[in-house]
Chains A and B, each alone.
Chain A
């Protein structure tokens, strides 16, 4: 079955460390997105990529970095510059076809310890 796989499901980071969240899709979708969910703030866009080897900053890109070397993969690195990284991170992908919107992964819960 096609879908999006995010790993790990839970991740703990010490202050000052960089961590990378994995997102892999086998849906043959061109566009991929990273969102962050915080209580009461909905989903906020971190980075997105509409084609391989190209990506754009979203609304809250500071302290994050991404790469898109393969169509199937869009890893997100949370750097030490991100001052409040504890959150639930969601990866999504889509084709240009609407109205089904995005397909989301099951998320990664990142906690700073």
Chain B
């Protein structure tokens, strides 16, 4: 029972263009949604989050949108840079403190 799903295993974009990473969830009880970035053989690092009562949060080149009616969130990266190439995990936080992760999307930004 996958509560958080990232249906696109990979995404390739040109440098300078927009990257859009998508995530769907099934549990309406999640309090926060977070995006993590991960390089091979390293731990994930926190990127940006959004409260379940918000519909948008922006931090520099990164913006997360939350559509509660569709149980969908997305991460927009504008403009994309080659250093953004990594695996991106969507995660949802329960009130108990447990984080539930999606499967991850590998982003490749081509110079």
Chain B: residues with Cβ within 8 Å of the partner, total of: 26
Q: Are B41 and A43 in contact (CB under 8 A)?
A: no
- Report the nearest A residue to B36, measured CB to CB: A101
Q: Are B93 and A101 in contact (CB under 8 A)?
A: yes
Main secondary structure of the interface of A (DSSP, over half): strand
Q: Are B49 and A99 in contact (CB under 8 A)?
A: yes
Chain A: residues with Cβ within 8 Å of the partner, total of: 31
Q: Are A107 and B41 in contact (CB under 8 A)?
A: yes
Q: Are A107 and B97 in contact (CB under 8 A)?
A: no
One of B14-22, B65-73, B78-86, B101-109 at the interface: B101-109
> Is A106 close to B, CB under 8 A?
yes
Task: List B residues 37-67 near A (Cβ within 8 Å).
Answer: 41-46, 49-51
Q: B residues touching A (Cβ–Cβ < 8 Å)?
A: 6, 9, 31-32, 34, 36, 41-46, 49-51, 89, 91, 93, 97-104
